[in-house]
C-alpha cells in the first residue's frame, strides 16, 4: 500500500510544484465578434474564441518553472476560430504579407482554396519580440484519429496526444518560416532528433505583427478535431516554453466549440482542475482482475477556498457509488465496452473522483449516464486532457498522465486501494501501521 501512496503523492508533487502558478492565475475563455478581430484586415469567422493564458507561467524544456523568463516569452491570449478560407483573406495576405516578405511565412503547400477549411490561430504575447531575439516559434499540435496517446511521463510533452505539429515563427537562422512534423507512431514522450523534424508538407501561412506582439496563423483543418498551442522562445538562459493552459488545467482545444465547456452559470464556480492518473497491477500493489490491466483515477475539482455551500451545490448531482463507464478503444475498429466504476467525493468535498479498471490498450472513457454541474460542465470529460488520442493503459504505468491536481491537496486524495482496506480493517479491529 505504501508504494501506491508514494506514486500518487509524487504525481501531486509534480503538478503542484510546476503548475501551481497556472492554477492560481485563473485562465479564462470568452469570445469577440469576427469583425472586431481580423487577420490582415480580413474577417476570418463570425466569432473568434479568446483564451486567456496565465501570467508568468513559462517553463523550461523539462517542465520546471522559469520565473525569470522575459515578458516577450509569455503567452497572453490565444484566439481560435474555424471556417472555410475567406476569399478576402487570400487577397489581403497577398497584398500585405506576400510570400517572401520579411514578416510573413508560407509552408511548402500553402495554396489555400476558397472552400478549404482552415483553423485561425492568433497568439498574442505579453511583450513584442525584441530585435535581438534568437528565436520564437509558435507550436500548434493537431490532434485527430491517429494521434499519439498520452501516458505516464508525458505530462510536460507538448507533442503527446497529437498527430502532427507545426512550428511557425522566427527560426535561429533569423528568418521567418514554418514547417510540419508528423509524429504518428512515435513513442509517447520520446525526444525527437533533428532528422525527425519537418517530414510533412506544410499548408500553414501567416505573419508577425510587432505592434500587437501577435503571431497570426492560418492552418489547414482536414481531419483535425482538437489543437494544442505552445510558444517556444530561445533566450540567453536557454529555451523557454509557454503552453496554453485551459481553465481546467488541460491543453487540448475542441474546435467544434472552443469556449463551450468553460462557461460559468448559475453563480457557481467553474471546475478548476481535471486530471488522470493510472496505477498498474504489475508490481502486486493492486489486486486487479487482469495483471495487464490498469487502475484509472480521474479527478475533477474546484479550489478548496470556495465556500462549502457553493461546493455542495456544484456537486449536488453526484451520487457516490457504483457507475457504468464506457470505454471506447482508440486506433481500432473494436466496439466500445462497459465496465463498472466508482464515483466518490474527496474528504474536503471539493473534488469528484471516478475510479475503474481498464484492460491494456488505448482508451477514451466517459460515464454511461452523463453528469453535469449546475453550471453546465460535464463532470467526467477528458477532451482537454488527452484530446481524441485517449490514454494508454498497461503494465508499469503508474502516476500522473495529464492534467492539474493543484486544487486538490494530497490529504484530500484517497488511496484507491487503502480506502477499501481501511474499512475492512475497521470491521476486523485491525490497526493501520504507522507510515
DSSP assignment of 20-77 equals HHHHHT--EEEEEEGGGS-BTTB---SEEEEEEPPTT--EETTS-B-TT--GGGSEEE
Tell whether 61 and 166 lie within a shared domain.
yes
- Collapsing DSSP to helix, strand or coil, 317 comes out as coil
- pTM for the predicted model, two decimal places: 0.86
Do 182 and 319 share a domain, yes or no?
no
Q: From CA 319, how far away is CA 309, in angstroms rounded?
A: 17
Q: State which of 191, 213, 244 marks the end of a domain.
A: 244
Strand partners, 140: 166, 229
Residue 271 CA to residue 261 CA, distance in Å, equals 10
**Residue 346 within a domain:** yes
Q: Is residue 7 part of a domain?
A: no
What DSSP string runs through 349-360? Answer: SSEEEEEEEE-S
Sheet holding 28-33, edge to edge: 28-33, 47-52, 75-84, 117-125, 214-220, 205-209, 104-106
Cα–Cα distance measured from residue 186 to residue 166, given in angstroms and rounded to the nearest whole number: 16
Q: Is residue 328 part of a domain?
A: yes
- What is the domain extent for residue 210? 28-244
DSSP run (H or E) holding 254: strand 253-254
- 50 in a structural domain: yes
**pLDDT for position 55:** 93
What pLDDT does 260 receive?
66
Q: What is the pLDDT of residue 3?
A: 33
Do 63 and 205 belong together in one domain?
yes
Residues 232 and 281 in one domain: no
Torsion of Cα atoms, 402 then 408 then 410 then 415, to 10°? -70
69 occurs within a structural domain = yes
Asked whether residue 23 is domain-assigned, the answer is no
Examine the domain organization and report whether 86 and 193 are in the same domain.
yes
**CB burial readout 383-399, b (16+ within 10 A) else e:** bbbbbbbbbbbbeebbb
Residue matched to cell numbers 522559469:
66
Same domain, 273 and 174: no
Mean pLDDT of successive 10-residue stretches along the chain, which has 435 residues:
33 30 55 94 94 94 90 97 92 92 93 84 97 96 88 90 96 94 86 89 96 96 94 94 92 86 66 92 78 93 84 84 96 91 90 94 95 86 94 92 80 49 36 25
The domain total for the chain is 2
Please state, in angstroms and rounded to a whole number, the distance separating the CA atoms of residues 229 and 250. Answer: 11
Q: What pLDDT shows up at residue 416?
A: 53
- Give whole-number Cα distances, 166 to 198, 239, 422, in Å: 8, 17, 50
Hey, CA dihedral for 340, 346, 347, 350, is it positive or negative?
Answer: negative
Strands, E assignment, 262-390 = 273-280, 294-301, 321-329, 337-345, 351-358, 361-367
Is 258 contained in some domain?
no
- Domain ends where: 244, 278, 312? 244
* Helical residues (DSSP H) of 280-377, grouped into ranges: 308-314
Do 84 and 225 lie in a common domain?
Answer: yes
Q: Which three cell numbers stand for residue 83?
A: 471556417
Given 244, 278, 313, the domain boundary residue is 244
Which 3 state secondary structure label does DSSP give 152?
coil
State the DSSP code for 398: -
Torsion of CA 371, 372, 377, 382, to 10 degrees: 0
237 and 101, same domain (yes or no): yes
Q: Does 423 share its domain with 280?
A: yes
Same domain, 168 and 32: yes
Distance CA 253, CA 78 (A): 11
Does the residue 113 lie in any domain? yes
Say if CB 407 and CB 302 are below 8 A apart: yes
Instruction: Please indicate, yes or no, whether residues 233 and 301 belong to a single structural domain of this protein.
Output: no
The pLDDT, as a whole number, for residue 264 is 58
Alpha-carbon gap, residue 386 to 392, rounded angstroms: 10
Q: Do 203 and 273 fall into the same domain? A: no
Amino acid at each position: 500500500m505504501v508504494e501506491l501512496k508514494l506514486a500518487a503523492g509524487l504525481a501531486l508533487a509534480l503538478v503542484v510544484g510546476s503548475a501551481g502558478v497556472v492554477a492560481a492565475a485563473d485562465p479564462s475563455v470568452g469570445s469577440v465578434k469576427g469583425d472586431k478581430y481580423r487577420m490582415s484586415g480580413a474577417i476570418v469567422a463570425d466569432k473568434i474564441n479568446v483564451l486567456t493564458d496565465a501570467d508568468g507561467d513559462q517553463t523550461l524544456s523539462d517542465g520546471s518553472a522559469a520565473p525569470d523568463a522575459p515578458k516577450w516569452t509569455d503567452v497572453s491570449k490565444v484566439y481560435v476560430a474555424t471556417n472555410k478560407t475567406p476569399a478576402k483573406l487570400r487577397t489581403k495576405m497577398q497584398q500585405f504579407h506576400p510570400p517572401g516578405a520579411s514578416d510573413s511565412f508560407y509552408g511548402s503547400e500553402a495554396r489555400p482554396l476558397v472552400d478549404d477549411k482552415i483553423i485561425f490561430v492568433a497568439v498574442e504575447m505579453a511583450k513584442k519580440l525584441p530585435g535581438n531575439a534568437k528565436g520564437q516559434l509558435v507550436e500548434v499540435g493537431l490532434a485527430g484519429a491517429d494521434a499519439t496517446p498520452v501516458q505516464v511521463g508525458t505530462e510536460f510533452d507538448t507533442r503527446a496526444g497529437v498527430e502532427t505539429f507545426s512550428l511557425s515563427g522566427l527560426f535561429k537562422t533569423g528568418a521567418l518560416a514554418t514547417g510540419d512534423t508528423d509524429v504518428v507512431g512515435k513513442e509517447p514522450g520520446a525526444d525527437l532528433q533533428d532528422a525527425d523534424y519537418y517530414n510533412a508538407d506544410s499548408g500553414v501561412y501567416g505573419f508577425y505583427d510587432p505592434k500587437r506582439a501577435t503571431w497570426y496563423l492560418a492552418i489547414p483543418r482536414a481531419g483535425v478535431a482538437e489543437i494544442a498551442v505552445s510558444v517556444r522562445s530561445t533566450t540567453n538562459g536557454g529555451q523557454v516554453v509557454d503552453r496554453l493552459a485551459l481553465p481546467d488545467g488541460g491543453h487540448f482545444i475542441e474546435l467544434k466549440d472552443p469556449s463551450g465547456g468553460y462557461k460559468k452559470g448559475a453563480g457557481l464556480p467553474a471546475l478548476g482542475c481535471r486530471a488522470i492518473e493510472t496505477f498498474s497491477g504489475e508490481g502486486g500493489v493492486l489486486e486487479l482482475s487482469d495483471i495487464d490491466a490498469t487502475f484509472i483515477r480521474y479527478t475533477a475539482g474546484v479550489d478548496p477556498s470556495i465556500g462549502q455551500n457553493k461546493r455542495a451545490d456544484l456537486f449536488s448531482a453526484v451520487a457516490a457509488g457504483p457507475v457504468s463507464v464506457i470505454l471506447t478503444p482508440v486506433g481500432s475498429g473494436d466496439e466500445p465496452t462497459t465496465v463498472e466504476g466508482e464515483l466518490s467525493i474527496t474528504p474536503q468535498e471539493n473534488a469528484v473522483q471516478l475510479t475503474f479498471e481498464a484492460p491494456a490498450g488505448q482508451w477514451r472513457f466517459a460515464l454511461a449516464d452523463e453528469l453535469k454541474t449546475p453550471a453546465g460542465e460535464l463532470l467526467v470529460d477528458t477532451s482537454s486532457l488527452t484530446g481524441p488520442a485517449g490514454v494508454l493503459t498497461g503494465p508499469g504505468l503508474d502516476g500522473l498522465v495529464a492534467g492539474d491536481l493543484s486544487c486538490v491537496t494530497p490529504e484530500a486524495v484517497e488511496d484507491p486501494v487503502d480506502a477499501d482496506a481501511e474499512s475492512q480493517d475497521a470491521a476486523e479491529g485491525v490497526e493501520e501501521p504507522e507510515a
